[in-house]
Amino acid sequence: MKNTVAILEKPGKMVIKETQMPTPKDDEVLIEVKYVGICGSDVHGFEHGPYIPPKDPNQVIGLGHECSGIIKKIGKNVRKFKVGQRVCIEPGVPCYTCEFCLSGHYNICPNVDFMATQPNYRGALTNYLTHPEAMTFHLPENMSLIEGALVEPAAVGIHAAKMAGDLLGKSVVILGAGCIGLMTLQACKLKGAAKIVMIDILDNRLNKAIELGATATLKGNDPQLTEKVKSIVGEYGADVVLETAGSIFTAEKALEVVKRRGKILIVGSIAGGVPVEFLKINREVTIQTVFRYANDFPATIDSIANGDFDVDSIADRFFNYQDTQKAFEFSVNNKKELIKGVIKVAD
């Protein structure tokens, strides 16, 4: 077996190079990668370099962390898996010993080794990778490998809705109708939200939001946006507002459309400072950041397998592994034609 890896040679340039075949440790599995989703953080990394630059300027940087594949080898202590089984992976490997891991919140482990970022910057865009058994998950027979690669972003939406608390009968506004916004939409529906308003500037995303069950959609550049939101959810605003676009504009807009005693959840990664006019929200509004997921993969897989969560239709553009450079260029330059890109590494 030969192994290659797609690496970020410099911002704007991905190259595929030969690399060593990894050997699984005693508690690891060797996976032949089949599909890798292109995350917004990957696109940012392609354009500008990683959100958290490596300390070593010679650090090899890989991209991709949403992946599925087939087990090819198992370590001697592995019990859950056999060669040939289809799996997806949770890309963060926590330390399991800090106070956050021990309390069940391993997603905020300060020592986590998360794919395509610090400390090792290893990406999923490779033919073969090793991963701990504990962070590897079976795919049910009725789930495709494409769906398996999209468990990771779906888990972000599931976790965000869980962090929002009780949503039964509540009004929800989601700012950003990209992949994460659409996953969050579905998760809020599963939790019983009565009204869900999706906001974005791209028609293809808003059309998909309606397909997936949004109550209404609004254009983010509408000068009457705040008034129109309140005409749908009520004069005081929404019970819950989720920011999933990762922009200062949407974070500021969240302050305008949230109800008194409502809750704002910041799901997107926002670069730069967000000015907060506290007089606008000095009505017992809660602002909560949301970071990845914790213990959410099993429920996410079940929701997809049961048909309660549609990830398949969100993936609307596929690229071959050898065209990784073109895949990222397309993701940067054709956002009006793209909701979610997926790279097929192997048949």
59 has pLDDT over 90: yes
Q: Are residues 134 and 197 in the same domain?
A: no
271 has pLDDT over 80: no
pLDDT tens sequence across 288-312: 999 999 999 999 999 999 999 999 9
pLDDT tens sequence across 136-158: 999 999 999 999 999 999 999 99
CATH number at residue 165: 3.40.50.720
Is residue 269, in this structure, part of any structural domain at all? Answer: yes
* Mean pLDDT of the 280-289 span: 90
Domain count, the chain: 2
Is residue 239, in this structure, part of any structural domain at all? Answer: yes
Is residue 299, in this structure, part of any structural domain at all? Answer: no
Nearest to 325 by CA among 12, 10, 4, 1: 12
Q: Are residues 62 and 138 in the same domain?
A: yes
Q: Are residues 223 and 98 in the same domain?
A: no
Is residue 301, in this structure, part of any structural domain at all? Answer: no
Is residue 306, in this structure, part of any structural domain at all? Answer: no
Alpha-carbon distance 300 to 155, whole Å? 6
Supply the pLDDT for residue 52: 87
272 vs 129, residue with greater confidence: 129
Per-residue pLDDT band for 92 (boundaries 50, 70, 90) equals: very high
Residue ranges making up the domain that contains 184: 156-289
Q: Are residues 119 and 133 in the same domain?
A: yes
Alpha-carbon distance 232 to 171, whole Å? 9
Q: Are residues 79 and 112 in the same domain?
A: yes
Supply the pLDDT for residue 57: 86
Nearest to 61 by CA among 17, 16, 127, 7: 7
Number of helices (H), then strands (E), in the chain: 11, 17
Percent of the chain with pLDDT over 90: 93
93 has pLDDT over 90: yes
